[in-house]
Amino acid sequence: MQDFVQHLVNGLSLGSIYALIALGYTMVYGILQMINFAHSDVYMVGAFAAYYAAKWLGIENQPGLMSLATLLVVSMVACALLGLTIERLAYRPLRKAPKLNILITAIGVSLFLQYAGQLVFGADPKVFPEVMPDITFFQWGDLSLRSSDFTVLIVALLAMVGLHFLIHHTKIGRAMRAVSQNSSVAAMLGVNPDRIVAMTFVVGSSLAGVGSVLVGMKYPKIEPLMGMMIGLKAFVAAVLGGIGSIPGAVLGGLLMGLSEEMVVAYLSSTYRDALAFGILIVILLLKPAGLLGRYQVEKV
Amino acid sequence: MSDVLLDVRSITMQFGGLKAVDSLAFQIKKGQLVGLIGPNGAGKTTAFNMLTGVYRPTSGDILFAGQSMVGLRPYQISRNGIARTFQNIRLFRELSVLQNVLIAFNQHVKSGTWSAILQTQSFLDEEAELRSKALALLKVFGLDRKADEIASSLPYGEQRKLEIIRALATKPKLILLDEPAAGMNHSETHQLMETIAQIRKDFDLTVLLIEHDMKLVMGICENIIVLDHGVKIEEGNAQHVRSSQKVIEAYLGVEESV
């Protein structure tokens, strides 16, 4: 029982990180019907931005709320700017091109960022600064609840609440929902779709920035290829929940995190990565639209 | 000629070898209700698409309130005051009726994201005002009671009305209606035409409408433009158009001489 609760907490905190990154995939898909494969590398750049910012500001050994807030802001801004640049330079010129072109471009951007990252940051792993003091505040037999897991949960939750608010209670969110349903009609009602797409990249990328700092807290080893595996898993989470669906991304992320933790705990850690792709295969076979997604009917 | 709102100067739309619209020219005066008619494939919707920036005319110019609209993007044209509805209904199907209308207000909303986050008084006031404005607009068409329903759940006729309401919410000077009565029965159509005449007065609008039903167009339009194969073949009042030999030929075909 204590074991199970422990795994539950670990799984939820891992899952909420997957969810944050999955949101970026799903938002961009919802608005452009493209998979932004570069998203996971934006996440990687966010982690490095926070790493260098901590060094530069000299707060790498001063864990606390101030450091957490500072690094979150730095990482979010860095990711937002990078996401915006990628959209502007790589994707926007292809807006009217066939869908496959933009997809391949996304893979190209992803590879570019991975290897440019190795060139600029170096290929060797670096140690992410300690952002928050990690204390065990509850111990009961095998169950030990650590503050880092709860920080991750709280920050992720705040980010998701913020996103929900943005989408449902602001002018820009209203425009995002309209553009995702029908961009040409939204344009005729006075919404500038290019601006809304750019905003979507800004928001999705900053969520990846949040995710990168949270991952840095939990697994403090960063390197330029760190985005690959977590990106793939977050992508599977988005597909599992129903790509394009925001609640779906959160649900998919949490399910992914929980099942991964449980597989590692009760089967074998060997299956950790196999699980993600197993889920992907099963979902594509049984419910390709995902848990909360809907089948798109081709417009005539 | 300051009372000319829309001045279409010889616009042509060429798709490959096909001229969908060929040197179309007409003027609409402020406050007029003009009908654009013609057989299937005459180029009516193509003309609408050029007026709203979906297509860029191959040649020619479109002056709206004295300003050229050619080369502007659809959202810029909307902000200049041209709104439209579609032949096949294009609502935001998964948003509520109210949200569909609120989107169209977006361009006039002043509060930004920060005031929404901070929930400033001006933001709350503006939101409340928009909501009541949207409801008032819905009420004109008797849709206010369905404000919170999902747009796709409305019956067909009401979806058509919602499209018109949504177009009105952009506060246009000119509204383009693409077959607003398509799929409606006779009495519904009749009622819709009365509503159109009414909103034109109430909102101080200029209206250009495409319609298949000749009788209807003749009933309410002051000026009628007839297109056939992309070319304007006739223009004038109902009387004039009805008796035009060219129009009769376009609709019924030319009588073979035996």
Q: Which two tokens stand for residue A231?
A: 């990106």
pLDDT bucket at B249, cuts 50 / 70 / 90: confident
% pLDDT > 70, chain A = 98
Instruction: Name which of A134-148, B68-82, B237-251 the model is least confident about.
Output: A134-148
Contact between chains at B106 and A185 (C-beta distance less than 8 A): no
A113 to each of A72, A121, A122, A201, B84, how far by Cα in Å?
21, 11, 13, 16, 43
Q: Which residue of B has its CA nearest to A176?
A: B103
How are strands ordered across the β-sheet holding B223-228?
B82-84, B174-178, B206-210, B33-37, B223-228, B231-236
Instruction: Name which of A25-29, A245-249, A290-294, B12-16 the model is least confident about.
Output: A290-294
Contact between chains at A182 and B170 (C-beta distance less than 8 A): no
pLDDT tens digits, one per residue of A8-56: 988 999 999 999 999 999 999 988 888 999 999 999 999 999 999 998 8
Look-up of token digits 């992410």: A128
For residue B225, the model assigns a pLDDT of: 92
- How many beta-carbon pairs below 8 A join chains A and B? 77
A126-127 vs A221-222, strand pairing mode: antiparallel
The CATH code of domain A2-286 reads 1.10.3470
pLDDT bucket at B16, cuts 50 / 70 / 90: confident
Instruction: Name which of A58-67, A146-155, A235-244, A261-270 the model is least confident about.
Output: A58-67
Top-confidence range, A128-137, A208-217, B40-49: A208-217
- Tell me which chain B residues have a C-beta less than 8 angstroms from the C-beta of A178: 92, 95, 103, 106
**What residues of chain B, 141 to 170, have a C-beta less than 8 Å from chain A?**
166-167, 169-170
Contact between chains at A184 and B74 (C-beta distance less than 8 A): yes
- Tell me which chain B residues have a C-beta less than 8 angstroms from the C-beta of A171: 106, 109, 111-113, 116
pLDDT bucket at B121, cuts 50 / 70 / 90: confident
In chain A, where the domains are located: 2-286
Asked if A50 contacts A71 with a C-beta cutoff of 8 angstroms, the reply is yes
Query: Using CB atoms, which residue from A165, A185, A190 is nearest to B106?
Result: A190
% pLDDT > 70, chain B = 98
Going from the N-terminus, what domains does chain B have, and what CATH number goes with each? 1-81+172-258 (3.40.50.300), 92-170 (no CATH)
Q: Reduce the DSSP state of residue B254 to 3 states and report it.
A: coil
Looking at per-residue confidence, does B98 or B109 come out higher? B98
Q: Tell me the mean pLDDT in the region B31-60.
A: 90
Mutate to test the interface with B, among A31, A163, A171 (most CBs of B within 10 A): A171
- Tell me which chain B residues have a C-beta less than 8 angstroms from the C-beta of A186: 92, 103
Cβ of B75 under 8 Å from any chain A Cβ?
yes
